[in-house]
Amino acid sequence: MGSEDEHLLAEAEKVAVALGRMFPGLCEVVLHDLRDPDHAVRVVENGLSGRAPGDPATELGLARIADPRYPDVVQNYPNRFPDGRPAKSTSIGIRNSEGEYIAALCLNLDVSVLSPLALTLANLVATGTEHGAEPPETLRDRHARELRRTVEELASRRGGTPRSLGRDARRELVRQLHADGWFDSRDAAQTIAGLLGVSRATVYNYTKQ
């Protein structure tokens, strides 16, 4: 059993090191050897909590040792580093083939680094509420807006929506748009195709038939 446990710990150690190096300075990753609670810390990557290999197990680690029914994964619980910085933590218990907890892989994310960034992004994407649901303007090309309105009106006269029209009605609509000069715009064919639910090539074919 000892060799199996060591093998599991060695595999978990590779995971801990890789995770820590993927998030340098942001996420502390600690591997605990629960077989030796007084010196449980086996690996520390990004030592944000100040712990080092050989340090004792935490309360959560001791709880796992005391109770084999303790949850395998405790996810995204609030925590704090010794200096007061807020953290989001996850603890993953590792069992051997006998069902005994032999290790725990713990991740402690420094959310104090991310909180200002999240606030900045929220402020950056925020829009005013005084304009209601409809914005006072749209950044889309005015010609495209007018074309969309025209296509919808022409479809309505034919008893449907642009996408519900039959093939003949779509062809007539496109020919009328072509005759009215809407195809002078470079992106007109693509816009019309999107409104009708057909390909750009089909739109051009309608103008020729």
Per-residue pLDDT at 186: 75
Burial class of residue 118 in the structure, from the number of CB atoms within 10 Å of its CB (0-12 exposed, 13-18 middle, 19+ buried): exposed
pTM of the full structure: 0.58
Which of 204, 144, 141, 142 shows the shortest CA–CA distance to 174?
A: 204
Residue 12 CA to residue 94 CA, distance in Å, equals 9
Per-residue pLDDT at 1: 64
Structure tokens at 129: 């509420």
What is the Cα Rg of the chain in Å?
A: 31
Write the pLDDT tens digit of every residue in 14-30.
999 999 999 998 999 99
For residue 182, give Cα distances in angstroms to 35, 47, 148, 150, 198: 77, 65, 11, 10, 17
Which of 105, 99, 102 shows the shortest CA–CA distance to 2?
A: 102
Checking 60-66 for CB contacts under 8 A at 24+ apart, the result is 60/91, 60/104, 60/106, 61/32, 61/34, 61/37, 61/104, 62/37, 64/34, 64/93, 64/101, 64/104, 65/34, 65/37, 65/101
Please list the ranges in the chain whose pLDDT falls under 70: 1, 127-142, 209
Which of 108, 104, 106 shows the shortest CA–CA distance to 36?
A: 104
Residue 209 CA to residue 203 CA, distance in Å, equals 10
Which of 44, 66, 63, 65 shows the shortest CA–CA distance to 53?
A: 44
Q: How does the average pLDDT of the chain come out, rounded? A: 87
Strand partners, 28: 108
Residue 75 CA to residue 67 CA, distance in Å, equals 18
Per-residue pLDDT at 138: 46
CB atoms within 10 A of CB 72: 12
